[in-house]
Amino acid sequence: MYHNGPEESTPQRNRTETAMLSRTYFKWPESPCFDPMHDLLEGVVPMIIKNIFQEAVKSGKLSIDELNHRITKFDYGQVDEIKTILRAARNFEQVFHDLIYGKVPNVKKLRQMNSILNNHYFKERILNKDYPSLSEKQQLAENILKSFPQLEKTKASPDDPIEVL
């Protein structure tokens, strides 16, 4: 169903007065007509991932068999495990709610969620002795800097301010 002019503001869709909305014959749909999350996740991101995989296969860094093996062996249970870990902390329910309804969650809570997940998986990898050694991490960092020299400009120095959550 269409309306003449803007519809009322709702918690999900905040409307502001614009020149287009003030027009008598401008039709405004009841359903949201712009959904960037779905545009990105269902349109742009898959295309980019496809191009990345094609380049990796062409360059020999990844084989089709290895890619198919990783896809078939992916553990979808990890998603539920992550939700279980985060739901143990009550203040993340609002973040889940915001994400489900396409709202932007609180940045501070997102950082806390990231910290909890990193700590959980970091400890798990140490217990399984699967965590890379210091020399392996240094070699990886050197390889990354060789591949992307522009990152050298972003290297942290003792003079940089401390990041605060």
pLDDT band at residue 23 using 50, 70 and 90 as cut-offs: low
Q: Who contacts 93 (Cβ-Cβ below 8 Å, separation ≥6)?
A: 87
Average pLDDT over residues 40-49: 75
Identify which of 38, 39, 25, 30 has the alpha carbon closest to the alpha carbon of residue 12. 30
pTM value > 0.85: no
pLDDT band at residue 21 using 50, 70 and 90 as cut-offs: low
